[in-house]
Amino acid sequence: MDDTATLEKISDAGHLSDRLGMIVTGVPHKIGTGFLARHFSEEMFGGSMDPLLMVDHFVMTEPTFEPHLHAGISAVTALFEDSEGAFLNRDTLGHKLAIKAGDLYWLAAASGAAHEEFPEKGGRTHALQIFVNLPALLKAKPARAFHVPAQDVPILKEDGYRVRVVLGRSGDATGAEGAPVEVTMLDGFLEKNGRFAHTLARDRQAWIYAVSGRLTIRVQNEERVLDAGTATTVKAGPQTDIVLLSGEPSHFVLLAGKPIKETFVKHGPLVMSTAEDVRRTLLSYQAGKFGDIPR
């Protein structure tokens, strides 16, 4: 069933929500023989993904991308626990890291930083690549980064669910903080007939993705059903509980943050306030002003 038909069915039943968005299926994206992804972008959600700009759910088994520039955003790499081998990260901040299963690496590119990431030989990286927008005041700041090792991620665990609080807060667990914009990231697993609830703070909105299995998302009296490879959103508003239920073992990711609500200009992995900012950033990169990637 397409998204329009789904919405019509919900509307006919009297359950069209002001908070829950439409169901969107990720666009398959393949590059060469070593990269396969499901792609989501902010245009697909009509603004209700803000502050997120893009999420790619990918598997990478060999080097695919040349070193490349980011600016005006944070490029976040979140490895799932079933990744095999290290994911090697090198960037112009001087970092040379082996990111492991369950880890997160947040590169706040801001005024500009280049990086390259690729699996070690024989590795299989299963992860999300997340682009988080930055407000105009932060786009001109120096780049910075932080690494969250898997062993530092708190876990909420009860009968029916296991949820890793990678960033932000959920329940009585607090994950990594200190990102340039406030983001909560939950990497969760529901057992058969499992149930988990997350309180979405006031004026925050959420993006929820079914990695595997089948989930029901409930906000107050409204519901959406997500099959693997689909996502939906919860628009900003009063504080509310997001309840996730599953009749089968399922894996989900919930990302939440405060919408930035600013206009921007996109040029590939550069997202700046104006076209002139894009031009100036590209010239700075070409002049080598962001430094070198370590070897």
> Is 295 exposed, middle or buried (CB count within 10 Å of its CB: 0-12, 13-18, 19+)?
exposed
How is the chain split into domains, by residue range? 3-286
What is the pLDDT tens value at each position of the chain, 295 positions in all?
344 443 433 333 334 458 999 999 999 999 989 999 999 999 999 889 999 999 999 999 999 888 899 999 999 999 999 999 999 999 999 889 999 999 999 999 999 999 999 999 999 999 999 999 999 999 999 999 999 999 999 999 999 999 999 999 999 999 998 899 999 999 999 999 999 999 999 999 999 999 999 999 999 999 999 999 999 999 999 999 999 999 999 999 999 999 999 999 999 889 999 999 999 999 998 888 888 888 7
In angstroms, how far is CA 52 from the centroid of its own chain? 7
With vertex at residue 294, the alpha carbon angle to CA 151 and CA 54, rounded to the nearest 5 degrees, is 60
Cα–Cα distance for residue pair 19/4, rounded to 1 Å: 17
Cα–Cα distance for residue pair 32/95, rounded to 1 Å: 27
Chain position carrying tokens 């009585």: 172
Read off the pTM. 0.91
pLDDT of residue 66: 87
Cα–Cα distance for residue pair 159/205, rounded to 1 Å: 27
Superfamily grouping for domain 3-286: Jelly Rolls (2.60.120.10)
Length of the chain in residues, anyone? 295
